[in-house]
Amino acid sequence: MARWAFFTTALLAAFVFARYRLPGHNILWSAFLILMLMPNIVNLPTLFELLRDTSLLNTYTALILTGMAGGQVFNLWILRNFIEDVPEELFEAAEMDGAGPLRQIWNVVIPMNGATLATLACLSFIGGWNNFLLPLLVIRDPDRLPIAVGLFRLGDAYVPDWGPTMAAYAIASIPMIILFIFTMRFFIRGVTAGAVKG
């Protein structure tokens, strides 16, 4: 749910960056692009200290808050580029009909970029499902571990029990399989949407 809330926030922010030229627009956009160049692991020591100082270690709140902010720069960058490709005439026609910014997003941006939004939603879900490094550092209680870390700690260090381990991996892959069965056509369309211009 947290990722969906910030996914919506990324869409709103991308609309503002694509449609409006506010003071400091270029500086702020350059700062966002610099954030894309930074590997996530660089932030882990500082993030761990922040979570420790705020008493959020070994809590779901830590994972929710970091998950809400994770990947937003990438979503914002992709959505801004696709919103800029929407013909200006459609926004002008919507404004003449009395549509405000939120109505333009709902009636113009979302229908024209449905495949892109579906692709980013799939990638966001996969990123949350496969989140490993931060939960490994933050969560101490074995009962609270997410699926990726739980699978990692399932096997024995010396003599792994391959039967239960492989069964657990197969069960953990079921949500991903279901996701791609129902969203494959949107995912493929979104991935290939920018391949051909014109």
**Whole-number average pLDDT of the chain:** 83
Higher pLDDT residue, 53 or 179?
53
- Proportion of the chain above pLDDT 70, given as a percent: 87
Cα–Cα distance measured from residue 129 to residue 125, given in angstroms and rounded to the nearest whole number: 6
Sign of the dihedral defined by the CA atoms of residues 151, 67, 33, 17, in that order: positive
pLDDT of amino acid 195: 53
pLDDT of amino acid 103: 92
Higher pLDDT residue, 146 or 162?
146
pLDDT of amino acid 174: 93
Structure tokens at 85: 């490709």
pLDDT of amino acid 156: 62
Q: Has residue 158 got a pLDDT over 70? A: no
Q: What is the 3-state composition of the chain as percent helix, strand, coil, each rounded to the nearest 5? A: 75, 0, 25
* Model confidence pLDDT, tens digit, residues 27-72: 988 888 887 788 878 888 888 999 999 999 999 888 888 877 766 7
In this prediction the pTM is 0.77
The pair phi, psi for residue 82, each rounded to 5°, is: -75, -35
pLDDT of amino acid 181: 85
Structure tokens at 170: 């197969």
Cα–Cα distance measured from residue 152 to residue 149, given in angstroms and rounded to the nearest whole number: 5
Cα–Cα distance measured from residue 86 to residue 161, given in angstroms and rounded to the nearest whole number: 54
What are the structural domains of the chain? 2-191 (1.10.3720.10)
In 3D space, the residue among 145, 147, 134, 124 whose CA is nearest the CA of residue 50 turns out to be 134
pLDDT of amino acid 159: 66
Cα–Cα distance measured from residue 163 to residue 196, given in angstroms and rounded to the nearest whole number: 46
Amino acid type, 194:
G
How many separate helices (H) and strands (E) can be counted in the chain? Answer: 13, 0
